[in-house]
Amino acid sequence: MERLKKQKSIAKIFAMYIATFCIVTILQIIIILFLFIMGLRSGVILPANYYEQIVEKNRNQIMVTDEVSEFIPEECNYVIYDLSGKMLSGNVSEENSLGIWKMIKNDRTSYDNNYYKIIPRDNEICAVGYKLTAQFSNSVLRKYFPNAENCEAFLFISTFILGVIILSKRFSKRVSKEMKVLKDVTENIQMENLCFKTEESNIIEINEVLFALDKMKSELNNSLNKQWKLEESRKEQISALAHDIKTPLTIIKGNAELLKELNLNSDQVIFNENILGEVKNMEYYIKSLIEIMKSEKEVMLKKENVNLKIFINEIIEQGILLIKDKQIKLTNEVKTNIEIINVDRVSLKRAIINIITNAIDYCPVKGEILFSVDSDNEYISFAIEDNGKGFTNEELDSATEQFYQGDKSRNSKNHYGMGLYITRNIIKKHGGNLILENSKEMGGAKVVIKLPL
């Protein structure tokens, strides 16, 4: 993995976004102020003292005219008192008129968010109220937005929040893009896919982690390759040894069978039968050993669309052959409507028959074996149950291990821990699970194969 020439630290990138945010905020303020000033110059927005100027301009007319309302803008409040404070006319309520008169008597100029001009008249006093806020000249806008300055503040807050959201998303998107490289590397390593090129990041800290992961990946790849070669060598040696043992066994078996043709006494017959019996066991052992070496080498599955009904019938037919001459009942239940499954027909059939064979060996006289098929939205399940002794806790943990022979109470000379081990390998290659448990319905062992649909 090569280092990039241009890289930035997270702190530098964050500082850059903060600087961008500050610049954008300043530009927002400048633009909003510019629009406000242009609104004032164009007359779209009235200055805060607009109505104050009109009232001051019409002061002399208000002092002498009988029709005061003609010289007071509609947006202003006004009230005329006699010298005793009695309201003579105006456009305010009686309650507000009392408050305004009290304001006048206390030499104040504001009441109820309005500012007032006090204009003397002949034996009368006129108070004209107005708001010192910028307003829109358009009456519709002024109705819904009575304070143009509040609109300016709202516009600033809205654009400020929008700017925060946009910059945050940009920063998050950039960091997420860089982190995706890191995520891809860790996922590949997790799946033991080590033959990939590590991409580079523009962020120094992430690139340093990637560099360390790339180094770890290379070392892990070398270690796994060494382990794989050692494992392959071990398998080849075991397989070769198994084939080599077959030759002396064949000679022993042949000589023992020739001895049967001679006139042997009773003790010699027993000894010879023991030899032939143990040779038979060793042949089975070697056959199983060769089978397991073969199953581990068969990495590629030949998946095909298999008719489930026909496949189940094939299993049952072979199972019936296995229990021939044995007082065992084999039944089946199908609880699925699935017609086609995509599997390796040969290897899956072999796995299921292995389990049925185990069930037959551990099933008592006049026992029963149930083979059932079920499914849900994600998996199809093949379950084999018997009414034998069931699994011990030790067997539930170790029964799928290579060469495990199980509890002595369920021990069989023909079992060398191969069947379930081979089955587990086959199911694992299908992406499924092999589940060992004890059957609640039948009281014996239960083995479930779950395959993804």
Q: Is the model's pLDDT at 34 over the cut of 80?
A: yes
pLDDT at 400 over 60: no
Same domain flag for 364 and 437: yes
CA distance 310 to 332: 13
Which of these, 436, 349, 328, 356, lies nearest to 391 by C-alpha position? 436
Domain count across the chain? 3
What is the pLDDT at residue 309?
A: 93
Q: Are 131 and 113 in contact (CB under 8 A)?
A: yes
The answer to whether the CB of 433 falls within 8 A of the CB of 427 is yes
- Which range is least confidently modeled, 147-151, 369-373, 378-382? 147-151
pLDDT at 101: 93
Q: Which of the two residues, 148 and 422, has the higher pLDDT score?
A: 148
DSSP letter assigned to residue 444: S
Q: What is the DSSP letter of 91?
A: S
The residue ranges of DSSP E strands in 395-443, in sequence order, are 433-438
Task: For residues 316 and 445, state if they share a domain.
Answer: yes
CA distances to 176, 179, 215, 319 from 185, in Å = 14, 10, 12, 47
Q: 164 lies in a domain?
A: no
Q: Kindly state whether residue 148 falls inside one of the protein's structural domains.
A: no
| Structure tokens given for 165 | 């959201």
216 and 329 in a single domain? The answer is no
Q: Please tell me which residue, 4 or 305, carries the higher pLDDT value.
A: 305
Which pTM was predicted?
A: 0.44
Q: How much is the pLDDT for 307?
A: 94
Band the pLDDT of 120: cuts 50, 70, 90.
Answer: very high
Reported confidence tier of residue 373, pLDDT bands at 50, 70, 90: very high
**Share above pLDDT 90 across residues of the chain, in percent, rounded to a whole number:** 23
Let me know whether 354 and 423 are in one domain.
yes
Q: Say yes or no: 421 and 354 in one domain.
A: yes
Residue after which a domain boundary falls, among 267, 297, 327: 297
Mean pLDDT for the chain? Answer: 83
Report the distance separating Cα 156 and Cα 330, nearest Å.
Answer: 80
Specify the DSSP class assigned to residue 430.
T
Write the pLDDT tens digit of every residue in 67-93. Answer: 888 899 888 999 999 998 899 999 999
Asked if residue 43 is part of any domain, the answer here is no
Q: Residue 296's pLDDT band (boundaries 50, 70, 90)? A: low
Tell me which DSSP letter residue 401 carries: S
Are 311 and 282 part of one and the same domain?
no
pLDDT, position 79? 94
Domain annotation covers residue 39: no
Which strands, in side-by-side order, build the sheet including 114-121? 87-90, 77-82, 124-130, 114-121, 110-111
Separation of alpha carbons 230 and 393, rounded Å: 33
Q: Is a pLDDT exceeding 60 seen at residue 410?
A: no
Of 387, 377, 405, 391, which Cα lies nearest the Cα of 434? 391
Range of the domain at 71: 49-132
Instruction: Decide which of 297, 327, 351 is a domain's last residue.
Output: 297
Indicate if 413 and 445 belong to the same structural domain.
Answer: yes
Please report the pLDDT score of residue 416 as a whole number: 39
Q: How confident is the model at residue 448 (pLDDT cuts 50, 70, 90)?
A: very high
Query: Cα–Cα distance between 62 and 125 in angstroms, integer?
Result: 10
> Any idea which of 67-76, 132-141, 239-248, 411-420 has the lowest mean pLDDT?
411-420
Which whole number is the average pLDDT over 34-61? 90
In the chain, the amino acid numbered 75 is E
Question: Does one domain contain both 389 and 379?
Answer: yes
423 and 340, same domain (yes or no)? yes
pLDDT of residue 97: 92
Asked if residue 429 is part of any domain, the answer here is yes
Helix (H, G, I), strand (E, B) or coil at 372: strand
424 and 321 within one domain: yes
Nearest to 426 by CA among 298, 290, 311, 239: 298
Cβ 125 vs Cβ 80: under 8 Å: yes
Cα distances from 231 to residues 342, 372, 402, 415, 417, in angstroms, run 31, 37, 14, 24, 19
pLDDT score at 403: 46
Q: What is the pLDDT of residue 247?
A: 78
Does pLDDT of 408 surpass 50? no
**What pLDDT is stored for residue 146 in this prediction?**
82
What does the radius of gyration of the chain's CA atoms come to, in whole angstroms?
48
DSSP three-state, residue 4:
coil
Q: Is residue 412 part of a domain?
A: yes
CATH number at residue 313: 3.30.565.10
Q: What pLDDT does residue 414 have?
A: 45
pLDDT at 123 over 70: yes
Tell me the pLDDT band of 300, cut-offs 50, 70 and 90: low
Is 278 inside a domain boundary?
yes
The verdict on 367 and 408 lying in the same domain is yes
Per-position DSSP letters for 19-36, written without gaps between them? HHHHHHHHHHHHHHHHHH
Confidence category of residue 59, pLDDT binned at 50, 70, 90? very high
Two tokens, residue 208? 């340093």
Q: How far apart are CA 148 and CA 156, in angstroms?
A: 12
Task: Locate all alpha helices (DSSP H) within 71-127, ordered by sequence.
Answer: 94-105
Beta-strand ranges (E) seen in 310-440 are 328-335, 340-343, 367-375, 379-386, 433-438
Query: Which of 297, 322, 351 is a domain's end point?
Result: 297
Q: What is the CATH number of the domain that holds 127?
A: 3.30.450.30
Q: Is 410 contained in some domain?
A: yes
Q: Are residues 376 and 240 in the same domain?
A: no
What percentage of residues in the chain have a pLDDT greater than 70? 90
Q: Using one digit for the tens of pLDDT, what is the confidence trace for 423-432?
A: 888 888 888 9
DSSP 34-95: HHHHHHHHHTSEE-TTHHHHHHHHTHHHHHH-S-GGGGS-TTSEEEEEETT--EEEESS-HH
* Tens-digit pLDDT profile for residues 226-246: 887 887 777 777 777 777 777
Over residues 146-165, mean pLDDT: 87
Q: Report whether 380 contacts 453 (CB < 8 A).
A: yes
- Residues 164-179: pLDDT tens digits? 898 888 888 888 887 8
118-122, 129-133, 235-239: segment of lowest average pLDDT: 235-239
Strands (E), 254-378: 304-307, 328-335, 340-343, 367-375
Per-residue pLDDT tens over the stretch 252-261: 888 888 888 8
